[in-house]
Structure 1
Amino acid sequence: MSDSPASQGNGFEPFPWPPVEPTFSAWKAATFGIGAALAGALLLARDLAEGERVHALLTGLLFSCFSLIGFGLIPQRRPRGAFRYINATVMTRAERPTADSWVHLAPTRPARLPLLIAGAEATLALSALVVYIVLVLLGLAPLLNEDTGEGGYLLALVPVALLAVASGWVTALMIGRRIRGGSFGTRPSGVALGETSVTVRVPGRDIEIPWTQIKSVTARRTAVGTDLPGSVLLPRRHRGENLDLIRLALLPGGEVTSREQWLAADGYSVPRDAVYTALRWYHSHPEARWELGRVEGERRIEGWRRRALAAARPTEA
């Protein structure tokens, strides 16, 4: 492979659609966060003045969560980072040999701190509410609202408990993703390309997919909440409602028993066009996979990253 600048970025294939625009603009998200903080402060002061300490605690937790979510939804800058050229073993717990020794990792972006704190607060508040409801039903705590009665608390117990579990699970994934977002001594998360396999190592998913099992690599755009296997993947009028994905169609007979693997097109610290190009190009060029895990592959992938950044500049202006 030639190392000349003219050869870098050959085979570049951007994702078919431009990045989905965020639902909230920066000023809308910031306005929501500031408004929630001010409203929470006013209600908190009122509850404290009336001696309603429990209400004040719940009000503070609720509106601080809303405020943090608002600030956490402020759009981030488009990713510009590079693939990490690392030993595949550092991505595992060293319980068994990896398919490839050295890989090129597209790291996931760490979860944003305001959203992580909001998730932790929500989990804490919901868990405390579950404990309080149980104590009320056991007669060990007074009713905050006599009009509700024990029947209302009993009906609220299951949905509140489910929300607490869901919030805790999402928060745990965000914490794991942030811890594994490149800190020294932790297992990095992301999608890695090696000579023999594509590795997906993120909180909640840990698999190696042989290149020979991948039938095709295609782009998909679907609506949030749509069942992926049967979705009609066309751009919708409101782009903020779309979700961009990379679909790996799989052949039967490998360790991965499902017939497809969905990867997020976004959420990496590297440009998504570079991730998509690397998966597509190396899938269709098996004779060139020898360079993955070597400096030749690093140079080629870096060329695609630079092409992706150059293509994105006019739209960011």
Structure 2
Amino acid sequence: MKPHDANDEVLAPASDFQPHTDLLSDILRFVRLKGERVLTTRFRSGFNVEFQRGMACIHVVQEGELRISVEGRAPLRLSAGDIVVLPHPARYRLSDGGRPDAALEAPLAIEASGVNISVLEHGHGAIAARTISATFQFENKGGVSPLLGLLPDVVHIAKDADQSAVLIRDVAQFLVVEHAAQEPGAALMISRVIDVLIIRCIRTWAKSLGPRQGWIGALADARVSRAVAEIHRDPTRNWSVEGLASVAGMSRSRFAEMFSATVGEPPLRYLHRWRLLMAFDLLRRSNLPVGEVAHAIGYESEAAFSRAYKTMFGTTPRDGRLTASG
């Protein structure tokens, strides 16, 4: 049997331990990812399209080259086969301005209410670039902002990243087929396919990371991921650092050090935060009394729960529920 801590590297190989629960699926299920709309773009010479801050979006480049300029970030050149995901609503521009000889057209503004165009065209002359694009959202935004905040403004997956990029492009093609057919159930099918695309993109991006904090950091280390997954699976359990270290297959001291380095906070503080995020969600999607919500996430005292909740969210559980319902 392999002893605890046999691997002394900062990041353990993913093959050493496999978490009982898929941590990424767990997080995305909690934040409730929902695909929205699909559109194809046909950009011609001089195209210059500005998207106002609205829905999160994915663009899969099918042909040609383009430049994406996200507000507050350096422009990024994309070519056929590249994929870019903007997980946070952002103001950004797609153009062929990356070419030294490009003469840009007057910008075409897409309103913040979301893209509701099936085919988006701009520019003149021959096709310069085509994309399959889609919008999506995280429905449980308020309570999970600390989780979503760990995602970058731009997730870029290069065409030659790995086999995942090919799979993402193939799945995107299915979006176009389903959208064109408009058979019964098409809206649900399109939403689910967009979900698959985003999950695959985040997974591919996460695999390429070095040390990070939060649940993204946990994804980078299989042993820590295993412990975090157990916290999510059974958050009301009276966890100790020793118990979580045993789940991870590590000594207490090594586990505590590794957890803080990858997740960005000690194990029991992460447990505390996760419980309160669950409470936030429960208060908004159920009519359970505050006391029952407190008990459901592992608090014996409603008063202690209310104090902890206010410290994290800046409002009492009751006031938070009224704000959500109003």
TM-score (norm 1): 0.23
Flag the structure with higher strand content. 2
For the pair shown, the structure with the greater C-alpha radius of gyration is 1
